[in-house]
Structure 1
Amino acid sequence: MSPLSAPILAVFLSLITLTHATTFTVVNNCPFTVWAAADPGSGQKLDQGQTWSVNPAPGTSMARIWPRTGCNFDGSGNGPCETGGCGKLDCDDGHWGDNPKTLFEYTLANPSDTLDISLIEGFNVPLSFSPNSNAGALDGKCRAVSCGVDINAQCPQQWKTTGGCTNPCTTPGTGTCADDGDSKFFKNLCPDAYSFPKADQTSTFSCPSGTDYTVTFCP
């Protein structure tokens, strides 16, 4: 390898990384404070109208962003939340928050990202995501997706909890979890979101790698 080969290769690899870098802009449109959480990405208090940028590494997989409500953190950032809490402001890797919570999930890959909204772990705050570019790409699978319904207001009594609505798929003994089961309650209200496992055909979306996104609480 010539003396110039290694530096040139390093620059080339850095350009690839920059090309596929992704930013998620999290926006709180709710008329109340939401404590956003991300894995990877830690956590952030968002009053109405505030935003937070999450910048995961290229190739990040099985990642999620979610809203937390009713949090009470001490000076060290430790404390509980009514919904979605992990025991502290900055959720560590693998601390995915208590149920119920509305989830935005993603995997960043080449040539395309995979994205979805999931209600399998319940619902606490309406949520949407949208690509900031490339809309309509990949046969129309790259588009805005929303679960903007206040499911809490319609939640069946057996699933109601403080600040949210649980899903029988992750709350055993409260109903059936299947495409024709009790969990279909969520699918009827938010057709583009997961309400039970393996609903990929109607709940998974894709955009070209390197797309930036906006994730909105209370769209």
Structure 2
Amino acid sequence: MARKIDPEQHEGKRQEILAAAHRCFLRNGLQGASISMICKEAGMSPGHLYHYFPSKEAIIEQMADDYLAALHGHFGGHGKETPTATVLLSELWSMSGWDDLSHCRILFELLAEAGRNPRIHAILRDNTDGIRDLLTATLATGQARGEVDPSLDPRHTSAVLVAVLDAAPMLPLMTDGLDFEESRKLITTMISRFLRPQP
């Protein structure tokens, strides 16, 4: 008789594996972190881990899906009258400091690996498409309300915004001593001025 799976316990173990993999990816890089390293970090055997994820790529794909789901939550938490720039930057404004953005640094591991691994490239592309869908819809709503320059193509603009927002977590790695609050305000000002309708 097959053992009955406790959904809550199963999901809890999956989250433990994802957290262990995240630590390994930050420490060793996406390519350098092996399944055996992730198993050691998670305190389990490869056979046990494969019960939850069939491959390292499956772990990465789940991380990307979880990030997109979290982003949906940030965007969905705003009312219809919230300014467009506030919605677009809602994830950044939910953070309390640079350390809260460390999870975003996995993206740069993905970018480096995407040039070598077609499967990682597909995961990155699909995740970015999902993010752009959110941004495009928000921009179109802003244009309908007169808050966003109508000459901007929402889909193309979404790609530029992804590049800007993805680069934000790298600021403290490139320059020492940057104040988080001031940097966040400057990014908000930059996006707001960029989107503003021209007189």
Same topology, TM > 0.5:
no
Per residue, is there more helix in 1 or in 2? 2
Q: Which TM-score bucket, shorter chain as reference?
A: under 0.3
Give the TM-score of the pair, scaled to structure 2: 0.25
Per residue, is there more strand in 1 or in 2? 1
